[in-house]
Structure 1
Amino acid sequence: MSELPAGLHDDQTNSEPIVTAHSFLVQQADLEREAAEVLPGKFDECTYDKGYIRQPLYACLTCTHPPSNYQRTKPDASAETAPAGMCYSCSIECHTGHEVIELFAKREFQCDCGTARLLPAGEGSCCELKSTRKMLAKFANTKNSYNHNFWGFYCRCDTFYNPDDEAVMIQCFICNDWYHDRCIGKAPDEGDYEDYICRECVAKHDVLRCIDTTLVFRGVVADGVDRQVEVVDAEENKAENTEERPSKKAKTSACRLLPDTVSQPMDLFMVDGWKNDICTCTGCIKKIETQKLEFLLDSDEIVEPEMDDTRGESLYESAMKKLQGMDRTRAVDAASAYHAMSIKLKEYLRPFASAGKVVTQQDISKFFDEQKQQTH
């Protein structure tokens, strides 16, 4: 064991493990760095006021209760609730310690945390992040869409996500659900396509089903068995996509869709630039608007949390930087207060050092409780 700091002595008769102040600070710094890698973005602002946007989402399985067919263990006695999703910030500020699952990006979604659909997990928690917090509990986000992902279930096999499963999961560009590669069947190499569109979305939207020249793979499937597979050379398609085409936003009178000759469900893997091949005739534009596929013709960027440049720093480093940025008078006052507290703590710990007694968490808590009482 490394040498103990002043005031902390090893007691070989104590059966409980002893943590030195130095080792505690090192451990704390390691935890802070690990947290910064996993959650690198700022989480001091909820996205609610940004409206319906494409953003990373999370669901809390502690605050919401799924129907019986989506319960993983014995039926929960809690009353069933509606599914709900929250933004990155609320998943951290409001639901720390809860079973939170990551849903990744979804479109046209407004944060539910603090609304009638998902009330705050604790008093004054989530609503503190929202400017309209006093009225939120009366309203729900009527334009949000929900599926089995909000209970942690994915793919057409409808199973709970298992991080230990070796299967690769691929996200559908249209519905944003995730599918196991084994449930898709034959697929091209990852570098040979840009986006995957599941067979359920292909069946639902004929404007996707008949796009020309962009298909790197058409897998026609029925009853879970590959009936027909057409693999188109990816490099050929990339070359064809460089040819000049009409603007994807410009409406045309003639429909450019190929005749739909495929009657069975199929998965599509689309090469780079495939959205330029979407037909923009009056009829297809109307279908796109009716089926809420406008994102195919417009910008479809994900609103990511702002990166926090200070997350890689320890609490000590952050405090020192904050101190240096203060007004000089306030900085001197803060340093003086810290020095006075340091002297009091050393005096408090002196008897422990003299007697060779271990300082416990209860002892430190008692010291700060006494300091609080003296200030009142």
Structure 2
Amino acid sequence: MATDNGTASPVHGAESIITACGYLSEQAALEREAAEVLSGKFDECTFDKGYVNQPLYACLTCTQPPAKYQSNASEPEPEQPPSEPAGMCYSCSIECHAGHNVIELFTKRSFCCDCGTQRLLPRSQPDSSNNNRCCQLKKLRTALAETENSKNKYNHNFWGFYCRCDKFYDVNVESGIMIQCFVCNDWFHDECIGKIPEEDEYTDHICRDCTAKYSALRLINSDKAIYGRIFEGKVVELESSSVAAAVSLPADLSDSDEPARKKARPDMCRRRRDTEAVDARQPFDMFMADGWKEHICTCIECMREIEKDGLMFLLKEEEVVEPEEDDTRTESLYESALRQLQSMDRSQAVDAAAAYHSLSSKLKEYLRPFAVSGAVVTGQDIRAFFDNQKNLDDNTISS
């Protein structure tokens, strides 16, 4: 197609055409999606808070998964990253690992951010300085390269794998329901667990691996637990009465509405355990009813077991450190720009308005031939305009 002055006008496929209204609508949708996914502020690392319960993320660009997991990792690079698992806080996943292959690990217990430490030095770009390999948010960040968070615990989740089936979790592919173990924080597919109680019958799940590993978990008040019998790897039967029936309670230590941990610690156990009955149920999953932690026995014997197994968190109210809500995330780019303009002093506002007027005039001149010829303006045309303006600005600065 030719214009009135004989010059060729751009020919665009229908799929490349975008109207002004369509562009604004698409931009608004992207902004809403970003606000939902990244709703919190990301200007502060949680490292100084120590070992806390927090949402975690892992970077498969900065850490090299073991050989068995490498098919799900990033493409191999000349400089191979370390093969140790590592986790980072919400803020570091954005500020220090933007553009990387970052996966969400959900909430983990008692974890200190690894970003910038011995385990997790962000990968530097070929043309960047070594300083960019440090955490961008931590204080004294260059001194952290030899630091190791020795109390952190890691598992296959840090490579993106979950459940005893060891399957890679892809949010775009996963269709089943996953249930988290309250103790180890791993997640399990409902189909891998087997038979599961109704949602209103339990609030927390404890996996069979944890009940086998920690003897203290077998001492929990059975009235608050539904036991899942295992056959050929899956729960096939749910029971809540057989073990409870085998447990007797001294008259002077009967249950009351007052939580056990608020009472004076008893010298004798609040429940006599039938060891043979409990052991006969191995392996088993546990599905805990609401308020189950309030009925954990705190006698001297049980406290020794709980402390030995490292389960003291069962007796505490757990808080999760969440990123502070960012109120500005609900603004559009246009609204944000207006707010920034209003907050400037007069001279800055005048300069900004003049720059906007200049850019607006140049854009009108650029679009005039399209208006004359009746040609469609595409996203590629707009990008070409701004790329050209950027090159002109760069040349002006360098000259």
TM-score, length-scaled by structure 2 = 0.80
Is 1:193 aligned to residue 202 of structure 2?
A: yes
Identity %: 55
Secondary structure at 1:221's aligned position in 2? strand
Report the Cα offset of residue 242 of structure 1.
7.0
C-alpha distance in structure 1 between counterparts of 2:348 and 2:339, whole Å: 14
C-alpha distance in structure 1 between counterparts of 2:196 and 2:174, whole Å: 19
Aligned counterpart, 1:314:
332
User: Which residue identity lines up with residue 278 of structure 2 in the other structure?
Assistant: V
C-alpha distance in structure 2 between counterparts of 1:40 and 1:340, whole Å: 34
Q: Is the 8 A contact 1:215 1:268 kept in 2?
A: no
Structure 1: 5+ residue stretches without partners? 1-9, 234-239
C-alpha distance in structure 2 between counterparts of 1:337 and 1:375, whole Å: 16
Q: Is the 8 A contact 1:170 1:178 kept in 2?
A: yes
Change (3 A) 1:203 1:258: farther
Is 1:161 aligned to residue 169 of structure 2?
A: yes
Aligned counterpart, 1:182:
191
Secondary structure at 1:72's aligned position in 2? helix
Change (3 A) 1:294 1:341: same
Q: Deviations over 1:266-305 (max 9, x none)?
A: 1111111111111212232233233221211112111111
Q: Deviations over 1:48-88 (max 9, x none)?
A: 22211100111122222221223336996857610111111
Aligned counterpart, 1:53:
52
Aligned counterpart, 1:6:
none
Q: Please say which of residues 359-368 and 292-301 is displaced more in the overlay.
A: 359-368
Change (3 A) 1:181 1:66: same
Is 1:252 aligned to residue 270 of structure 2?
A: no
Aligned counterpart, 1:275:
293
Aligned counterpart, 1:262:
278
- Picking from 348, 351, 364, the partner of 1:330 is 348
User: Which residue identity lines up with residue 11 of structure 2 in the other structure?
Assistant: T
Aligned counterpart, 2:305:
287
Q: Deviations over 1:20-64 (max 9, x none)?
A: 555433322211111111221122222122211100111122222
Secondary structure at 1:310's aligned position in 2? helix
C-alpha distance in structure 1 between counterparts of 2:176 and 2:365, whole Å: 60
Aligned counterpart, 2:250:
none
Alignment of 1:220-231 (within 5 A): 220-221=229-230, 223-224=232-233, 226=235, 229-231=238-240
Aligned counterpart, 1:139:
147
Aligned counterpart, 1:170:
179
Is 1:63 aligned to residue 62 of structure 2?
A: yes
Q: Is the 8 A contact 1:114 1:136 kept in 2?
A: yes
Change (3 A) 1:178 1:226: closer
Aligned counterpart, 1:115:
117
TM-score, length-scaled by structure 1 = 0.84
Change (3 A) 1:282 1:188: same
Secondary structure at 2:136's aligned position in 1? helix
C-alpha distance in structure 2 between counterparts of 1:104 and 1:241, whole Å: 36
Q: Is the 8 A contact 1:197 1:269 kept in 2?
A: yes
Secondary structure at 2:107's aligned position in 1? strand
C-alpha distance in structure 1 between counterparts of 2:326 and 2:116, whole Å: 24
Secondary structure at 1:129's aligned position in 2? coil
Structure 2: 5+ residue stretches without partners? 1-7, 243-253
C-alpha distance in structure 2 between counterparts of 1:42 and 1:215, whole Å: 39
User: Which residue identity lines up with residue 243 of structure 1 in the other structure?
Assistant: D
Change (3 A) 1:216 1:273: same
More helix by share: 2
Change (3 A) 1:251 1:121: farther
C-alpha distance in structure 2 between counterparts of 1:292 and 1:298, whole Å: 13
